[in-house]
């Protein structure tokens, strides 16, 4: 559902009017605060620095009333505070701000005057017509342009009269702003039901010598304001030699209301150049509710190639069952581009009737169309199992294999055994790989994976040795309780090949339900290499998946108890690094007591501590308990950057320094921690000059490296 565009009636007007209304009935709704207003007025009247007055203005935008307008108005001539003042003056309802802005406009000039005129426009102050009319004649083109746009925003008859008279202004930039104002006026009139007046004004702009974009805007308005009578003008744009106007035609063709335009666009296809017709077809297809499908189908069937390609593609969105037969013909066309486009569209054509038609055509299909229909059955997942089962017995290899693949996409659990039989014992050796691919596709698609796994497990028992591995792999893809149990059994069987396959698949399992199975296999597996594989799989689960911190720490401990060497133990330290928490920090600290792991565990502890520090978690106490001695750290200077581009980050690093040589940052990564990237696309370093316990040291760190200050010698 695309929303109706109400751009013609600008929300600005509605909003401002409503704001004005709500201000008078604020007793029924939420009120502004007179008390807060007083506080801010006091700041404006004080000797407070400009930044405080700026904030006061901002707050008065919410709580100000006519009481503060005088104080705000005084700031309109202040180059620093004028913009802040206008934030409040634009927002406060009532006539006082309008009067203040009008009065200020009398004495200001340059940008300050432009700002005030802009605010008058935003407030749509109808009492400003005279002053804006005068300012429209200003020598300063920026002032005149601001006045023109403000008049456009006011948009009443008087404003339009002034603007019309100024369309002949000799200055191009002012004329352009006047035209902008005229278009705003016309838009408002159209929204108010004055379509004829709007058309006249749009057309007046169109006839004026202006920058092309203004003409584009007026032409669009003129077409839409004419409603049904705007079609000839729209078609004129589609025939224009001007690229911008042709583009406008394509744009408006999509937003033009009603269905008459669809017929006109269809007719236009026969006269437009092929390049343009290709774009017009796309515009037609974007009008899904009213498009003349027959015209698009006709363009798809014959004619210049660019138009055919565009039309074929368009049918994928707007075509129907009537498109199937001609597209099938094109899909076997000798022209490869056309054939590919037609195939792609056939796969996407919307509607159940399309599926019904394809299924009905399949049993009697012949020649090139037969494998194509089979392929479509698979792509569109059409239920046509009997016809596909017949096709897998075809003497034509291409037909057989297309049918197997289509079965993979469509077969139900009831007929899965057909694919299993083909995959583990096909009549044709040529079809084995295809059948296996189809079985995998079908198996992972089954909604009831437990039932699917039961079928596969049953087949496993009877399958020849070579096929058992395949079935175990597919069970791994299917997942679930039954698959886990079957793989566990295989991994603990007496058959070395099944042990290998079972432990391999389990070792790559990608959900936590395998954790107890892997732990058991790691303890009781039939051979060391498979126990080792299971242990690695178990650790991998701890590393990869979300779980409570304590559960992860428990997994780390259980894995650690089974580790046979430091290589395996270091994998557990990886878990701590990747999944930092207070629990994994405790675990890493614990491993610091294992002599052969001390160095790695210490490094891990610091990494985890830094990551936790970045999340605002205080780790100082734990580190102190772990034996990291407290030291006095003073940061002398810190710079981050590359080459001559260095950012002084001393204050940030100082703030993060504690009584440890580790500096934990406030965010992940140096750029985020140091307020941005000082040298984009360049390798950067962090250099720190510091003192530890009074001794001076200096260290350099590669971008995003752990920051551990070496003890000065």
CA distance 650 to 209: 59
What is the bridge-based pairing of β-strands 645-648 and 695-702? unpaired
Residue 309 sits in the site that holds another protein (CB under 8 A): yes
Q: Which of residues 260-279 bind another protein (CB under 8 A)?
A: 275, 278-279
Among positions 303, 306, 350, 712, the unique one binding another protein when judged by CB under 8 A? 306
User: Given the rule CB under 8 A, which of 241-249, 461-469, 554-562, 617-625 is the region that contacts another protein?
Assistant: 241-249
Q: How far is the CB of 177 from another protein (least distance, A)?
A: 10
DSSP helix/strand/coil, 698: strand
Q: Which of 381, 462, 615, 625 binds another protein (CB under 8 A)?
A: 381
Contact positions with another protein (CB under 8 A) in 178-197: 180, 183, 187
356 is an interface residue for another protein by CB under 8 A? no
First CA to last CA distance, the chain: 71
Residue whose CB is less far from another protein, 32 or 321: 32
Phi, psi of 112 (to 5 degrees): -60, -40
- With CB under 8 A as the contact rule, the residue among 135, 164, 188, 220 that binds another protein is 220
Give residues 114-133 in contact with another protein (rule: CB under 8 A).
114-116, 118-119, 121-122
Shortest reach from residue 18's CB to another protein, in Å: 4
Q: Between residues 30 and 170, which has the closer beta carbon with respect to another protein?
A: 30
As measured in angstroms, the least distance from the Cβ of 447 to another protein is: 4
Retrieve residue 326's tokens: 């001609």
Q: How far is the CB of 628 from another protein (least distance, A)?
A: 30
Q: Is 513 in the site for another protein (CB under 8 A)?
A: yes
Pattern of binders to another protein over 27-66, x per CB under 8 A?
-xxxxx-----------------xx--xx--xx-xxx---
Its sign, for the CA torsion 303, 308, 312, 318, is: negative
Among 247, 473, 520, 574, binds another protein (CB under 8 A): 247
337 lies in the binding site for another protein (CB under 8 A): yes
| Alpha-carbon distance values, 312 to 85, 245, 293, 378, 713 (Å) | 59, 26, 11, 21, 77
Options 11, 165, 527, 667; binder of another protein; rule CB under 8 A: 11
For another protein, the binding residue among 81, 261, 292, 459 (CB under 8 A) is 81
CB proximity list for 607: less than 8 A, separation 6 or greater: 577, 580, 706
CA 246 to chain CA mean position, Å: 31
Nearest residue (CB) to another protein, 27 versus 465: 27
Tell me the pairing of strands 685-692 and 695-702.
antiparallel
Nearest in space to 36 (alpha carbons), one of 59, 69, 55, 66: 59
Inter-residue contact 146 to 117 (CB < 8 Å): yes
Pick one of 96, 178, 216, 572: the residue that binds another protein (CB under 8 A): 216
Identify which range of 8-16, 591-599, 610-618, 686-694 contacts another protein by CB under 8 A.
8-16
Please spell the DSSP secondary structure of 559-598, one letter per residue: HHHH--SHHHHHHHHHHHHHS--HHHHHHHHHHTTSGGGH
Residue 70's SS3 state is helix
**How distant, in Å, are the alpha carbons of 312, 322, 334, 350 from that of 331?**
10, 15, 9, 17
Contact set for another protein, span 594-613 (CB under 8 A): none
Is 510 a binding residue for another protein by CB under 8 A? The answer is: yes
Of 41, 68, 72, 82, the residue at the interface with another protein (CB under 8 A) is: 82
Rule CB under 8 A: say whether 290 interacts with another protein: no
Q: By C-beta, is 99 or 286 nearer to another protein?
A: 286
Restricting to residues 83-102, which ones interact with another protein according to CB under 8 A? 83-84, 86-87, 89-93
Helices 274-285 & 305-318, crossing angle to 10 degrees?
0
CB nearer to another protein: give 276 or 492. 276
The reply to whether 478 sits near another protein by the rule CB under 8 A is yes
Q: Which of 470, 439, 464, 462 has its CA nearest to residue 452?
A: 439
Considering the complex, state which of residue 91 and residue 706 has its C-beta at the smaller distance from another protein.
91
DSSP 3-state of 690: strand
Among 558, 596, 604, 599, smallest CA distance to 578 is for 604
Q: 148, 107, 161, 151: which is closest to 125 by C-alpha?
A: 151
* Minimum CB distance to another protein smaller for 525 or for 641: 641
CB of 521 to another protein, least distance (A): 19
Q: How far is the CB of 161 from another protein (least distance, A)?
A: 22
Q: Is 213 in the site for another protein (CB under 8 A)?
A: yes
Angle CA 641–642–643, to nearest 5: 130
CA distance 545 to 699: 36
């Amino acid at each position: 559902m695309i929303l109706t565009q109400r751009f013609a009636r600008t929300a600005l007007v509605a909003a401002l009017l409503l704001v004005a209304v709500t201000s008078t009935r604020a007793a029924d709704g939420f009120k502004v605060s007179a008390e807060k207003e007083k506080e801010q007025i006091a700041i404006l009247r004080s000797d407070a620095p400009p930044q405080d007055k700026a904030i006061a203005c901002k707050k008065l935008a919410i709580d100000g009333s006519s009481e503060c307008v005088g104080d705000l108005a005084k700031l309109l001539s202040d180059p620093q505070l004028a913009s802040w003042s206008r934030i409040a003056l634009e927002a406060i309802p009532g006539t006082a701000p309008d009067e203040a802005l009008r009065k200020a406009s009398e004495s200001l000039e340059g940008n300050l005057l432009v700002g005030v005129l802009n605010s008058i426009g935003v407030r749509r102050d109808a009492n400003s017509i005279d002053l804006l009319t005068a300012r429209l004649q200003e020598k300063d083109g920026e002032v005149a342009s601001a006045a023109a746009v403000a008049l456009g925003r006011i948009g009443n008859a008087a404003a339009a009269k002034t603007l019309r008279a100024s369309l002949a202004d000799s200055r191009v930039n002012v004329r352009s702003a006047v035209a902008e104002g005229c278009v705003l006026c016309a838009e408002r009139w159209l929204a108010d039901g004055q379509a004829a007046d709007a058309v006249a004004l749009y057309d007046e702009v169109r006839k004026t010598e202006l920058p092309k974009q203004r003409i584009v805007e007026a032409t669009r308005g003129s077409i839409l304001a004419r409603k049904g009578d705007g079609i000839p003008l729209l078609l004129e744009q589609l025939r224009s030699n001007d690229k911008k106007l042709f583009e406008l035609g394509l744009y408006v063709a999509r937003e033009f209301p009603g269905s008459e335009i669809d017929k006109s666009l269809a007719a236009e296809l026969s006269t437009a150049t092929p390049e343009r017709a290709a774009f017009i077809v796309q515009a037609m297809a974007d009008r899904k509710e009213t498009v003349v499908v027959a015209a698009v189908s006709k363009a798809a069937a014959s004619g210049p190639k660019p138009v055919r390609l565009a039309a074929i593609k368009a049918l994928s969105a707007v075509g129907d069952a009537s498109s199937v037969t001609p597209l099938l013909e094109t899909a076997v066309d000798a022209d490869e581009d056309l054939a590919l486009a037609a195939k792609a569209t056939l796969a996407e054509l919307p509607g159940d009737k399309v599926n019904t038609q394809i299924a009905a055509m399949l049993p009697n299909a012949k020649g090139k169309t037969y494998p194509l229909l089979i392929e479509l059955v698979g792509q569109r997942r059409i239920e046509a199992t009997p016809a596909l089962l017949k096709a897998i017995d075809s003497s034509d290899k291409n037909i057989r294999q297309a049918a197997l693949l289509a079965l993979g996409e469509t077969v139900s659990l009831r007929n899965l055994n057909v694919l299993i039989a083909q995959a583990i014992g096909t009549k044709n050796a040529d079809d084995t790989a295809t059948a296996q691919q189809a079985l995998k596709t079908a198996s992972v698609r089954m909604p009831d994976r437990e039932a699917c796994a039961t079928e596969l497990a049953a087949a496993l028992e009877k399958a020849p040795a070579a096929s058992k591995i395949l079935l175990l792999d597919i069970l791994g893809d299917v997942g679930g309780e039954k698959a886990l149990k079957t793989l566990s059994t295989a991994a603990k069987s007496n058959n070395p090949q099944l042990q290998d396959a079972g432990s391999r698949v389990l070792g790559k399992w990608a959900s936590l339900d395998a954790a107890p199975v892997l732990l058991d296999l790691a303890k009781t597996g039939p051979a060391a290499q498979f126990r080792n594989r299971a242990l690695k799989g178990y650790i991998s689960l701890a590393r990869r998946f979300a779980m409570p911190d304590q559960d992860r720490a428990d997994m780390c401990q259980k894995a650690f108890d089974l580790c046979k060497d430091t290589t395996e133990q270091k994998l557990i330290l990886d878990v701590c690094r990747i999944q930092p928490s207070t629990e994994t920090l405790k675990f890493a600290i614990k491993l610091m007591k294992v002599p052969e792991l001390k160095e790695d565990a210490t490094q891990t502890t610091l990494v985890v501590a830094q990551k936790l520090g970045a999340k605002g978690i205080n780790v100082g106490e734990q580190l102190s308990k772990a034996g990291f001695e407290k030291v006095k750290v003073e940061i002398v200077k810190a710079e981050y950057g590359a080459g001559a581009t260095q950012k002084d980050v001393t204050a940030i690093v100082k703030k993060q320094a504690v009584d440890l040589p580790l500096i934990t940052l406030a965010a992940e990564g140096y750029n985020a921690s140091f307020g941005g990237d000082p040298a984009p696309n360049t390798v950067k370093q962090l250099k720190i000059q510091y003192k530890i316990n009074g001794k001076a040291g200096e260290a350099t760190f590669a971008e995003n490296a752990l920051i551990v200050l070496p003890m000065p010698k």
